Amino acid sequence: MKLGAQVESGLLQLATKSLVPGTATDAAEQPAMLELQKTYGKTIHTWAIDISPELPLGSPNLMVSYTADGQGPPEHMVQKRDAEWGQDTAAKRELRKGYLPPYEKADGADEWEKTHRGVKFDLDGGPPQPTTRGTQMAWTPLRYQPFKGLYLAYLAVTFFLIRVPLWYLWFLRRKNRPRASWSISKCIRVMAYRELTTLPVKVGLNSGHPVPKSDDELKDARVVWIDGLAEDSPAFCGEVRSFASTSGVEPARIPAYWFLKPGSIPPKDMKAQAGERTVLYIHGGAFHLGSAHPRSHASSIAHGLLAHSKSLTRILAVEYRLSATRPDKPANPFPAALLDCIAAYQYLVKDLGFAPYNITVTGDSAGGNLAFALVRHVVENNIPGLPRPGRLLSLSSWLDLSFSRETPDSSLVRNFATDIFSTSRSNRFGGYGMQAYLGPLDREQAKTNRYISPVSLFINPDGGYFRRFPRTFVSAGDAEKILDDSLAVAERLMADGVEVTVDIVPDAVHDFMVFTWHEPERTEALKRACKWLDD
């Protein structure tokens, strides 16, 4: 059966006792409800796929189960939901009686009761985009005016006039703070970022920066254009080329930015000087956000490395293609961004003459994922004229898109309330980015592809997949949800004989080096990383 709308979960998630507002489902369920009733002759409700291990359907964005008429969530939870979200469930039930006339049950209508598996429905426009950790769908009307403007205005007013004052009062008591060492200001900033991280997907905000027409628009920076890998390039090879063919991805010309240490003057042709060291920086942003532009949010890492390193005078930041998926126009799935990073590395080595051993590949969050994938591609394919880089600097890298380590003792659960990501079960970390990055690839790739999830538990840790990797510095905050990714990659690197330095920073959130307010942790960690770079 085809549904013309994607129905998001509107029920309480019983396992976590977290509430989901009903506004999105109210908008979607009426056009879908009648069709479901015609087919199954029953009242239906929707669940997030991760609500229970009893629902082994895989992981579609929409999983609809149908129950006997009159069956529903416990009444006390209905009352709690109504009170919190200003709903009137009793009135909604009466309304439903008006557009749900009785129908005869179709064949198979009792299948759920027999198997406890539920039923998966296809959507118009192609198969559903599954995730491995529940849904992360935007309520589409918020992406259009006037709804978008009204929502942002409402958010701004309530944020500054209501939320910030309430947070301040709440965090006056140190025991109410997510981490006892955090100041009130840091607590409020973390809470604010939890709201901000949901906005790009929810309302369709663009975090990109236009490419400057000339260097005159930049301060202590230069913009360059890097040609995509040629069709016959030795670097366009191996599994990455195969994945590009599967995903319909081709190399492309991209911009990149040279960050310059204040006061330094690079050569006009930007060629490497004798013995010069540099960094290839790959920004984070869950594969669909961020920019390499010197005025972007992520630029603070490149600026920080230049400020504290004695050996670096410039850093190249690559403006790789960002991925997108529904409700946006799907674009640039894996390995588009990786091809861009390979081209940038080739530019440094072959076009500018940097010795590979003088290059440190650096990435934070999703950029760290791309950094590991770039190094893997170079190491495993023995590309003529393109040896491995000298070092790899990993900053809060996101290295397991399958979240295979999610257990009660994992950092995903342990640090659930201490990181910068939303604690709402309907806005879980990385859902949109993972879907966008995988694109048309089978979702099993998030579990088993070493270029995408190199520390997944579904990949044999004894496979020697990190042999011949360069010396590596692994930095992460011990308050971040994906801390285990950094610990796991350090363990696997060391098991394969790689020289590894691990720097886990107490009470630091995910990607803390990006945040100039995350002091003193940020500066101290940058100094340690730069000391390692300068050795």
> Residues 210-249: pLDDT tens digits?
899 888 899 999 999 999 999 999 999 999 999 999 999 9
| pLDDT of the residue at 18 | 39
- Taking 60 as the threshold, does the pLDDT of residue 516 lie above it? yes
Q: Average pLDDT, stretch 139-143?
A: 74
| Band of pLDDT at residue 435, cut at 50, 70 and 90 | very high
| Band of pLDDT at residue 55, cut at 50, 70 and 90 | very low
22-26, 198-202, 402-406: least confidently modelled range: 22-26
Q: Average pLDDT, stretch 282-300?
A: 95
Reference 59, options 314, 403, 327; nearest CA is 403
Q: Average pLDDT, stretch 146-157?
A: 92
- Taking 50 as the threshold, does the pLDDT of residue 161 lie above it? yes
Listed ranges 9-18, 357-366, 459-468; the one with the highest mean pLDDT: 357-366
| Band of pLDDT at residue 94, cut at 50, 70 and 90 | low
Rounded to the nearest integer, the mean pLDDT of the chain is 81
Could you give the CA distance from residue 258 to residue 267 in angstroms, rounded to a whole number?
12
Element (H, E) at 340: helix 336-346
Q: What percent of the chain has pLDDT over 90?
A: 63
Do residues 361 and 475 touch, judged by C-beta distance below 8 A?
A: no
Q: Average pLDDT, stretch 301-323?
A: 98
| pLDDT of the residue at 23 | 38
- Taking 70 as the threshold, does the pLDDT of residue 499 lie above it? yes
- Taking 90 as the threshold, does the pLDDT of residue 454 lie above it? yes
| pLDDT of the residue at 49 | 34
| pLDDT of the residue at 205 | 80
Residue limits of CATH 3.40.50.1820 in the chain: 217-534
If you classify domain 217-534 with CATH, what class do you get? alpha beta
| pLDDT of the residue at 443 | 86
Could you give the CA distance from residue 212 to residue 220 in angstroms, rounded to a whole number?
14
Reference 51, options 85, 14, 76; nearest CA is 14
- Taking 70 as the threshold, does the pLDDT of residue 6 lie above it? no
User: Mind listing the pLDDT tens digit for each residue in 60-81?
Assistant: 333 334 343 344 556 666 676 6
- Taking 60 as the threshold, does the pLDDT of residue 194 lie above it? yes
Q: HSE-up of 349 (CA within 13 Å, CB side)? A: 23
Do residues 330 and 304 touch, judged by C-beta distance below 8 A?
A: no
The answer for residues whose C-beta is within 8 angstroms of residue 34's C-beta and 6 or more apart is 99, 100
| pLDDT of the residue at 124 | 41
Of residues 314 and 37, more confidence is placed in 314
Count Cβ atoms below 10 Å from residue 136 Cβ, excluding itself: 24
Do residues 457 and 491 touch, judged by C-beta distance below 8 A?
A: no
Q: Which DSSP string do the residues of 422-491 spell out, in sequence order?
A: ---TTS-TTHHHHHHHHTTS-TTHHHH-TTT-TT-TTS-TTS-TTTTPPEEEEEEETTSTTHHHHHHHHH
| pLDDT of the residue at 199 | 87
| pLDDT of the residue at 351 | 98
